Amino acid sequence: MEGKSMLKLSHVLAFLLLASLFQSLMARDLISDGIKVLQLPVENDGEFVFCPGKLSWPELVGKSAGYAKQVIEKENSIVHDVRLLFPGMPKPGSLVCGRVFLYVNFELVVQVTPIMG
Where do the structural domains in the chain lie, given as residue ranges? 1-37, 42-117
pTM of the predicted model as reported, rounded to 2 decimal places: 0.58
Out of 3.30.9.10, 3.30.10.10, 3.40.50.300, 3.10.20.30, select the CATH number for domain 42-117. 3.30.10.10
82 contacts: CB under 8 Å, gap ≥ 6: 68, 69, 72, 73, 99, 100, 101, 102
Angle at alpha carbon of residue 55, lines to 97 and 71, rounded to 5°: 100
- Pairwise CA distance, residues 101 & 104, whole Å: 9
With bands split at pLDDT 50, 70 and 90, how would you rate the model's confidence at 105?
Answer: very high
pLDDT tens digit string along 46-88? 666 667 788 899 999 999 999 999 999 999 988 988 999 998 8
